[in-house]
Amino acid sequence: MNIPSGRARYRPVIAALAAAVLAGAGAVAVGKAPALAAETTLRAAAAKAGLFFGVAASPGRLSSIVSQEFGQLTPENDMKPDTIATSSGGLRNTGNADTLVNYAQTNNMLVRGHTLVWHSQAGQLQGASQATLNTFIGNALTRWGSRIAYWDVVNEALDDNNNGRRRTQWPHSLSRDANGDGDYFDAGDTDVIRDSFRRAKEVVRQNNLNTKLCINDYDVEGLTVSGGARNNKAQALYDIVRAYTQGTERLIDCVGFQAHFNDNPNSVITADLQANIQRFADLGVEVHITELDIDDDLSNNDIGQGQANNYRKVVRACLNVARCTGITVWGIADSESWRSSERGLLFTGGSGNYQKKAAYSAVLDELNQGRSGGNPSSPPVSASVSPSASSSPSTPTDPSPCSATVSLNSWSGGFVATVRVTAGSSAINGWRVTAGLPTGAAVTNHWSAERTGTSGTAQFANVGYNGRIAVGQSTEFGFQGTGAATGTTLTCTAT
């Protein structure tokens, strides 16, 4: 599970990353990391932990630090429709994008294409039909092919102010709810998200590309927002990703949390960041932190240690979830940032002459701790509240076929439960977990399992892809609900 950090040929990078992701697909890593010498660049430390650490840049910013410190590159502006799209969905002006892709390839870095469908910086595509968007999607995807590991197919689909709705600005106004039932998931509906991903998937399949297709948004990072209320925007994104990954079509491969943390109450770093990453990961998609910058004001004007600690929390939350496979900062130095007054990045200085901030050292240190390193000084983001329970009396000679433990994230009036199912001394081909819920708790949502019952006793059984568990291995499913779930009991049976 090693992402090359030095100079090697490009194709093996994708293969190695895919292997890293597959290796992490079963469950979150547990246990102590072996004591290894600390790496001295973000890129190498991340690669050792099995994820990429990247940066957004434009051709004018490609100093040597980029390939030294970063293993992934996102064009900050040079692949947006206002730069590269014609009004009929053709391509133009791709020189800067080519420069960035070539640089990444030469330096063995992954590329994230950013972005195909977006209400902002739409340029000549502003107001285009879905057919024209589809033409553009096809042209852009085939222009760079598998040289682009991840593409943001749809960016910022959701509305602001925590209202949990889709944006109404174009292109989201292309959404048409044919039967007026309030969703966009029925056969007759036109939905720019679904239809853009359908077209992108079709192009990927037809051209046999390795490119993974992502949906990207901001203020979706926490399960909750400042003050503890539910993050409705995150919930809407979750519902969309679930609808388009758990059905007959698997349209979405990855979810990006932009993570522009600032003073907006919906944009704070909450303690449930990891739980939110986990529930998306449990849908089987990769999760990325795609545009990270952290306003120093979030730390009471402490440009030093406070901001560094905030960076640490975000990196740790990602490291603790196996399918969180990459973190990208939105620029190199504060002075060159789109939000320069908030001094949210890892370096000071500029024009290739950069100095590392405390935040840089914190990120490097946290990456060096690895997936299971867990810095004791950073608060845990989820608490285990219920001991494991098993279906049959557990004796040393007759061990239980499986066990289940729950990790609970709660807020006033609601909770998310992540349940880990572990096989005993024999492999199992299927499992059922019976959850005894406290009075007042009701399940509203679940993932990676079939469910019967919502309150009192609820049963969760494996779905097609997670029934088989090898000896001592585990898988996870989750559910969300209203009320309080502290005291939930679990019983696991092999089926």
| Catalytic residue IDs | 291
Q: How far is the CB of 338 from ligand XIL (least distance, A)?
A: 3
Q: Which amino acid is at 472?
A: G
How large is the angle between the packed helices 130-144 and 192-206, nearest 10 degrees?
40
How large is the angle between the packed helices 358-369 and 42-49, nearest 10 degrees?
20
In the numeric block, which tokens belong to residue 205? 């399949």
Restricted to residues 284-303, the positions that interact with ligand XIL (CB under 6 A) are: 291
Helix (H) or strand (E) holding 308: helix 305-319
Task: Dump the DSSP string for 176-197.
Answer: B-TT-SS-S-STT-B-HHHHHH
Q: How far is the CB of 342 from ligand XIL (least distance, A)?
A: 13
Q: How far is the CB of 347 from ligand XIL (least distance, A)?
A: 16
Task: Dump the DSSP string for 18-72.
Answer: HHHHHHTSSS---SPPP--PPPSSHHHHHHHHTSEEEEEE-GGG--HHHHHH-SE
In the bound state with ligand XIL, the residue whose beta carbon lies nearer, of 44 and 292, is 292
Which positions from 232 to 261 touch ligand XIL by CB under 6 A, shown as an x/- string? --------------------------x---
For tokens 């940032």, name the residue.
337
Count, residues near ligand XIL per rule CB under 6 A: 6
- Tell which one of 77, 99, 126, 392 touches ligand XIL (CB under 6 A): 77
In the bound state with ligand XIL, the residue whose beta carbon lies nearer, of 195 and 293, is 293
Q: Which residue is nearest to ligand XIL, using beta carbons?
A: 338
In the bound state with ligand XIL, the residue whose beta carbon lies nearer, of 255 and 364, is 255
In the bound state with ligand XIL, the residue whose beta carbon lies nearer, of 74 and 139, is 74
Q: Which amino acid is at 278?
A: Q
In the bound state with ligand XIL, the residue whose beta carbon lies nearer, of 263 and 450, is 263
Cα 168 from Cα 49, distance rounded (Å): 40
- Tell which one of 123, 246, 338, 459 touches ligand XIL (CB under 6 A): 338
In the numeric block, which tokens belong to residue 345? 């990045």
Residue 76 binds to ligand XIL (criterion: CB under 6 A): yes
Which 3 state secondary structure label does DSSP give 267?
helix
Cα 484 from Cα 288, distance rounded (Å): 30
- Tell which one of 124, 155, 386, 462 touches ligand XIL (CB under 6 A): 155
Cα 172 from Cα 396, distance rounded (Å): 59
In the bound state with ligand XIL, the residue whose beta carbon lies nearer, of 291 and 295, is 291
Q: Which spans of this chain sit near ligand XIL (rule: CB under 6 A)?
A: 76-77, 155, 258, 291, 338
